[in-house]
Structure 1
Amino acid sequence: MKLIKFLPFLAIMLFASCSSVQVATDYDNSVDFSQFKTYAFMKDGVDKINISDLDKKRILKAIDDELRAKGYTKSDNPDLVINLFTDAKQVVNVNTYYGGWGYGYYRPWGWNPWMMGPGYQSVSTSTQGILYVDVLKANNKELIWQGKGTGYLTQNQKKKEERIKEFVTKVLETFPNK
């Protein structure tokens, strides 16, 4: 009976701990964000991003959606300027699997001779992407907020759109509402 009461808590903890995008944010706490109402993208910065134009459009659309949801308006004469940076790196994962029952299953009080049995290794690579979102005051280009999202990327086109949306949503989660 106690196990049944514990299962919903376990499920919530499992899903909460599986966030696939790690986020770090920083901001200037002396800035009053309520004074800002409009934004635009920094064209020079967006043009320099070394990713496909399709992915660039996906990122910009996701940022537009998030900022609109927070009450900001895109403008030709903005209060804030958004600049982006991206980076990617290959990550190599090496896993070793051993045969046998393992330590503690057959003989919990000592060494298990089956633990060191035949095993195998698997090597895989994956791409880890990093998205930086910088928010600057439009009048003097002073950085007032920065978000960084790190996570694994996918090549599947449908999942790629979802993944980019997830990156942007997580990064802008702590950006103040208007």
Structure 2
Amino acid sequence: MRTIKLLSGMLLVTLLMSACSSVSVATDYDRHVDFSKYKTFAFYKPGIDKAEISDLDKKRILRSIQYELQNRGYRLSENPDILVSIFTKEVDRVSVYNNVGWGWGYYGYPYWGGGYNSVSTETEGSLYIDLIDAGKKELVWQGKGTGYLVTNGNLAKKEERITEFVKEILEQFPPVSTQVAVVQNGQ
């Protein structure tokens, strides 16, 4: 009984921690590519130049990507196996709260009305990381992270948020190879 309580407690903590992730990630890849052949990477400047964000934010994103890929054993190279490109999208989300209703006023008398309206705006951004086969010049993997951005001028939080976006996206790379299953089935 004690073991069951311990396991259910651990499960609850795991679920809560996974629910706290504030970056929604989606990935897509070419199932016919053997990702184990990729060992080196470089940044694809023409694609990166098209990203509509500040050069400082581009540098932050590229440093995070380089860090994550190198931690996975990939090397930065002038003769790369894969090219890394990025692009971004941004949408302002406006929320209007109408706080009008009834309540208890002075001396315990009920009232209707009062209240206030409030408007808040948050910026939701998407970061796309594209990995391109350098030899074939074909997209082989794409990761997209979507979440709210830090835009209040706090540079430490901004850098932390960018790092979180990149880390969450690249946790899905390289994908589990489906090439083995295809070969085993004789296809």
TM range (shorter): 0.7 to 0.9
Match of 1:93 in 2: 95
Match of 1:153 in 2: 149
Q: 1:136 aligns with which of 126, 132, 135?
A: 132
Q: Equivalents in 2 of 1:46, 1:152: separation in Å?
A: 21
3-state SS in 2 of match to 1:139: coil
Return closer, same or farther for 1:140/1:163 CA change in 2, 3 Å cut-off: same
Unaligned segments of structure 1, at least 5 residues:
102-113
Q: Equivalents in 2 of 1:6, 1:172: separation in Å?
A: 30
3-state SS in 2 of match to 1:148: strand
Return closer, same or farther for 1:7/1:54 CA change in 2, 3 Å cut-off: same
Q: Equivalents in 1 of 2:16, 2:113: separation in Å?
A: 32
Match of 1:31 in 2: 33
What does residue range 28-107 of structure 1 map to in structure 2 within 5 Å?
28-97=30-99
Q: Equivalents in 1 of 2:6, 2:140: separation in Å?
A: 48
The amino acid of 2:117's aligned partner reads Q
Match of 1:122 in 2: 118
Unaligned segments of structure 2, at least 5 residues:
104-109, 176-187
3-state SS in 1 of match to 2:87: strand
Please give the per-residue CA displacement for 1:48-95, whole angstroms capped at 9, x wherever unaligned.
Answer: 222111111100000000000111001000010111101111110123
Q: 1:22 aligns with which of 21, 24, 29?
A: 24
Q: Is the 8 A contact 1:70 1:176 kept in 2?
A: no
Q: Is the 8 A contact 1:153 1:163 kept in 2?
A: yes
Q: With structure 2 as the length reference, what TM-score do the two structures score?
A: 0.77
Return closer, same or farther for 1:94/1:78 CA change in 2, 3 Å cut-off: same
| Deviation (angstroms), 1:22 | 0.5
The amino acid of 1:51's aligned partner reads I
| Deviation (angstroms), 1:126 | 0.9
Identity of aligned residues (%): 54
